[in-house]
Structure 1
Amino acid sequence: MENQYIDKELAAERLRTGQHRAFVGGRWDEIGQLQFDYMVGKGLAPTDRFVDVACGSMRGGRHFIGHLNPFHYFGFDINRALIDAGLTHEIAPLGLLDKIAPGNLVAAEAFAFPTSWRDMDSALALSLFTHLTMNSIALCLRNLRPVMSDGARFYATIFHVSEDNQTARQEQLDGIVTYMCQDPYHYTRGDMDYLAGKTGWRVVDIETFNHPRGQSMVIFETA
């Protein structure tokens, strides 16, 4: 199994005991606010159509839904139970359910984004690529490209390492250790350039991102 988030039985058990916040990695308030502030700083406007890739139980979604115009938030995840937990425990208490269209929250395998999703302005994947192999990242990039408008940007966090350090285990912040061939993964700029070039994107930059575990932000733009 590539990572724990694919294990729906594990997720269901933890969600039954009210652990939807802990399941997506903890630091709920801190990281939820961090990703929202970052995207607003990049110009995310209420009128934008925004895709939250691996939206989970709405750690970031609760902020984005409140900010965006009705029906402009689109959430995608492999695990429907996490989405439902977020709707029940996070979005409903904030009175935001009426800002989400029925087809805007989708759970599917293999990054099978709905064919009805088109002309999105921006997308974000926070702490997703850190758990994925290069082939899975390529699949995500390839399948997301038709969803996005020309010139759109996709922001995704990775553990970024130099080419010289790629094969060795790397100690990150907050006690995290990353690997080339084991979850959690780290990647180089060359890895990202290669994947982008194969899937209809280009890498604009890899930025320092004030993530408490030391993740960096890759900025992809449609090519």
Structure 2
Amino acid sequence: MSNDVKSLMRADAKKLQPGDAHYSAYVGPPQHYDFMGASQFRLLTTLGLRDHHRLLDFGCGSLRAGRLFIPYLLPGNYYGIEPNKWLIEEAIEKEVGRDQIRIKQPHFSHNSDFDSRVFGVKFNFIVAQSIFSHCGADLIEAALAGFRDVLEDDGLVLATFVHLGAAGLNEEFTDKGWAYPRCVAYRPETILGFIRSAGLVGDWIPWRHWQDWYMIGRTRAALPHKSSFGHLTGVVLRDRELSAGL
């Protein structure tokens, strides 16, 4: 990683391209680093996340959302999986601070096996934002099987996928493995098939994102009813760019 890129302040890094070797760019469009973290925080708290819950941030990257979840949750309740250790280290140095890590005691794993069982605990919430948009079916199925094993009976998984036809992606991804920084797409029925194959149930929700959010649980009773979807818009009211669309 270039020292010049690494040393850029986040305000300057907004000029970089998604995937560039800066902690705020490697995880997606750097100009939306703040909003994408805030959007996840808003979604989970809307769906009932409280400070006493255990949260798994699956593919936590440079703590784009973690820098909001870590101070909110009680000590020891934030868990993050991120194979790229440098992303977490940069985020701690530039966004979170060592004192907050000492006080809030988050847990991190750098495994690259898409295995959420590594912590040996069960979770009330799991969030996987912009992970499955870069995955072949093999990795999606492995991750969802792990989620099934570590999710509390009334827990929720919130995960994004790219629908076929979005962002000019007109063919379903048929290769295996990790495709980052390339985005891959699936039909809604394929996505729901992945979820069913893992022994879980799920629904698309209308939370605002250029990808599509799905909520997933162990039982249908664990999922908010569709009658509540009017509260799941994620709309932004006073930002010209974001109110027009990401």
TM class by shorter-chain length?
0.7 to 0.9
Aligned positions of 1:72-151 closer than 5 A: 72-92=77-97, 95-101=99-105, 104-151=107-154
Aligned to 1:48: 53
Structure with higher strand content: 1
SS state at 1:22 partner: coil
Structure 1 stretches of 4+ with a deviation exceeding 4 A read 12-15
Is the contact between residue 38 and residue 68 of structure 2 (CA under 8 Å) also seen in structure 1? Answer: yes
Residue 218 in structure 1 maps to residue 214 in structure 2: yes
Tell whether the 8 Å contact from 2:172 to 2:187 is kept in structure 1 after alignment. Answer: no
**Whole-angstrom CA distance in 2 between matches of 1:115 and 1:210:** 31
CA shift in 2, pair 1:86/1:191, >3 Å = same
Q: 1 CA distance for matches of 2:63 and 2:130?
A: 13
Deviates more, 1:117-126 or 1:43-52: 117-126
Aligned with residue 22 of structure 1, among 12, 21, 25:
25
TM-score (structure 2 length as normaliser): 0.73
Structure 1 position 189, deviation (Å): 2.3
Contact 1:51 1:123 in 2 (8 A): yes
Supply the distance in 2 between the matched residues of 1:59 and 1:75 (Cα, whole angstroms). Answer: 11
Aligned residue pairs: how many?
195
User: What is the CA distance between 1:171 and its match in structure 2?
Assistant: 4.4
Return the index of the structure with the highest Cα Rg: 2
Q: Distance in 2 between matches of 1:171 and 1:195?
A: 19
Q: Which runs of 5+ in 1 are unaligned?
A: 1-11, 162-169
Q: Is the CA contact 1:46–1:69 (under 8 Å) kept in the aligned structure 2?
A: yes
Matched, 1:63 2:68: yes
TM-score, normalising length: structure 1: 0.80
CA distance in 2: counterparts of 1:23 and 1:90, whole angstroms: 15
In the alignment, structure 2 segments of 5+ residues that lack a partner are 9-21, 174-178, 220-246
Shift of 1:123: 0.5
Cα separation, partners in 2 of 1:171 and 1:156, compared to 1, 3 Å: closer
**Cα distance between partner residues in 2 of 1:147 and 1:80:** 23
Considering Cα pairs closer than 8 Å and 6+ residues apart, tell me whether 1 or 2 has the greater RCO.
Answer: 1
| Contact 1:160/1:188 (<8 A) preserved | yes
- Opposite residue 108 of structure 1, the aligned amino acid is N
Q: Secondary structure at the match of 2:116?
A: coil
Structure-2 change in CA distance of 1:89 and 1:114 (3 Å)? farther
Match of 1:200?
Answer: 199
Task: Give the fraction of aligned pairs with identical amino acids, expressed as a percent.
Answer: 24
Is contact 1:53-1:76 (8 Å) kept? yes
CA RMSD of aligned residues (A): 2.1
Choose 43-52 or 110-119, whichever is displaced more: 110-119
**Partner letter of residue 200 of structure 2?**
W
Shift of 1:66: 1.4
